[in-house]
Amino acid sequence: MKKLRYLLEYLPLKVILFLAALLPLSAARRLGDAVAWLLGKVLKLRRDVVENNLKRAFPDKTDEERSVLADGCYRFYCRMALEWSQAEKMLDKEQIEFKSPEIVDRQIERGKGLIFISGHLGYWELAGALLVRRFGPMHVYADVIHNPFVNQEVERRRSDLGVDTVTGKWALKKQARLLRQGETIGLVADQSKGVRQAEVPFFGYRVKNTRIPATLARITAAPVVPVVAVREKKYTITVRFSEPLPASLTGVTRENEEELLRQYNEWLEDEVKRFPEQYFWLHRRWKDARPLT
């Protein structure tokens, strides 16, 4: 029964992606707008989660302003999902702008491995392909999606774009081994999954955060470089790098792992404020959160 349920969940997604791949890119985006209207306005899929998250992050905005941001979030991610159906075509047509890539070049020259860290902001899935095009092979850590058909589809599409997925029970050990070999890995770290978690500030609340990036930096001494891929202009995707998180350069210990995560969340919060409609407000980032004051 479970396999049948997973299949029934997967088939509509497969059909939509198949149809979107046949359309011109502009038409696929218009289809994405229609899907966004259906999900966000009619079915109101997780609309309560989106609105509650926005109320916590932007308490000073009006209900109307937050509603506009919510609509923009649905529109951005529905468009992005359908763009993903023809990612190679999109990446060839779009203008890709790399800002401060020399930050990465300097760290790669050290030959001690490199950890890219990002959040559920902008084109986090496509970011891996963009980084591969600019800097060469890399590996991304990802949780296994519960639906095995969807998980297989996502991993196949990542592989087609040249990105290796590291997942499963021994993922942390494999990532550490790759880093010690001078390889590059990527993490989307604004999540609370995993046995070892920390509580760190994010938009005025203490939220649970995975310790994976801090643990990897501690056991491998690899620098942690924040990166975000966002749409700053209509036909331009900007990939912007920040200097390595200071804690990853001075040496992470068990005692200061949370400092690295605090620096990461501080960076991410600033980026979300710049592009609020491109943040994935549909996930329960503030589940079990506690106010800072």
Cα(212)–Cα(197) distance, integer angstroms: 9
> What Cα–Cα distance (Å) separates residue 107 from each residue in 111, 139, 249, 252?
7, 17, 11, 17
Residue 165: strand pairing partners: 140
pLDDT of residue 255: 85
Residue 188: strand pairing partners: 118
pLDDT tens series, the chain, 293 aa = 788 899 988 998 888 888 889 999 999 999 999 999 999 999 999 999 999 999 999 999 999 999 999 999 999 999 999 998 888 888 888 899 999 999 999 999 988 899 999 999 999 999 999 999 999 999 999 888 889 999 999 999 999 999 999 988 789 999 999 999 999 999 999 998 766 789 999 999 999 999 999 999 999 999 999 999 999 988 899 999 999 999 999 988 888 899 999 999 999 999 999 999 999 999 999 988 999 97
Tokens of 176: 């550490």
pLDDT of residue 58: 98
**pTM attached to this predicted model:** 0.94
Residue burial 218-244, b: 16+ Cβ < 10 Å; e: rest: bebebbbbbbbbbbeeeeebbbbbbeb
Residue 238: strand pairing partners: 97, 230
Contacts with 66 (C-beta within 8 Å, 6 or more apart), sequence order: 51, 54, 55, 58
Contacts with 42 (C-beta within 8 Å, 6 or more apart), sequence order: none
Cα(184)–Cα(137) distance, integer angstroms: 7
Question: H-type helices in 182-256, by residue range?
Answer: 212-220, 246-250
pLDDT of residue 195: 61
